[in-house]
Structure 1
Amino acid sequence: GSDSFREGDKIEADYRGRGKFYPGKISRDRGDDTYDIDYDDGERETRVSKRLIRKKDRSRSRSRSPRGGGRLREGDKIEADYRGRGRFYPGKIDRDRRDGTYDIAYDDGERETRVEERLIRKKGGSRSPSPKRGRKLREGAKVQARYRGRSKFYPGRIERDRGDGTYDIYYDDGEKETRVAEDLIKSADSGSDRSRSRSRSPSRGRMRVGTRVEARYRGKSRYYPGKISRVRADGTFDVSYDDGESETRVLAEYIKSSGGGGSSRGDSRSPRGRRGSRLSEGDSIEARY
């Protein structure tokens, strides 16, 4: 139709469908009403739906910054609401995107791109981001923390105090997490917690690295054969499946011992349930591509 775009057209597009349009040009017409876009600020995006693209309107594109007067400049010291979580962290403006958003280099080494101006404030010297500084956790302290904000606590230690009420944690099972809020962390000293974390897996004693098992891949109802590749300190397991897939932190209740010796339930897992139909590496096959 008449509203189709050609490669090289100057346009504005709703970057990642967030509701804000950024200037750029069409770099590729995919032929299915989607387009690849090179944005003026260096970003790229592929397969953007035609409905998210509009012809460049010069008068409108100039007034996209919501606050003209208090405009932030590159190098300004600021505080910004990191990832829009409601907490401000100190840093400086690293790049003005000229569309009302900014790239920020935080004082603790983190970086963030395309931060909206409403999430940034000039540094005003107020130092109260951490609600409870009385119980300061020290680097190296043994703790338990709610991994990714989930309800379950996992043992580890404080690797870095960010100085703003958040901490980086090394978990005992090898995972690492940054900027964990203080209210998601508790001291590992309490004996009751320790005993609880040790007894979290109902069949822990039988599971070792190399144990043949069947597991419910991604918590779905069907069991698939594999073996334990790692025993985590929190009662979960990493599983290497026989078909080449792997999965980390599988809950013990999703795993059962493999009934060695060809149980019919195990064999019916191939879509055409016959034992002889199992595929081996090197088999000549036909596949629906």
Structure 2
Amino acid sequence: MKTAIHSLPVLLLLLVAVGASAQAPGDRVLALWPADGMWYPARVEARAGDEVQVAYDDGDVGTVRADQFVPLHWEAGSTLQCNWRNRGRYYPGVVERIDGERIEFRYDDGDRETMTISRCRSLPPLER
């Protein structure tokens, strides 16, 4: 037997929770890249049921399940790995400042670099 929700606050909370995970084409997300288990910036291309087609910032495309992407929400203090001087090697550090797609990043060894977020990646959400 189904029961109706008679509490407006509970209903609103449920709607917000469902809406927060629904991503539309064009939205920025972090999406799992299965080959290395890391999460990279991407843009939602299309959604079909529980799957989302994403275009990763490096040009790759892929299809991920709902549990394999999250809204892109990096901010000052976020711990990431970034591609040092775009040489293909990722090193850990902390975001110092974000302005749109630009990021000011301090590596754990003290080096600093300003780059686009496309050069960074994130650990899986549960490990951050």
* More contact order relative to length (CA 8 Å, sep ≥ 6): 2
TM-score by length of 2: 0.47
Q: Which structure: greater strand fraction? A: 2
Q: Which structure: greater helix fraction? A: 2
TM-score by length of 1: 0.23
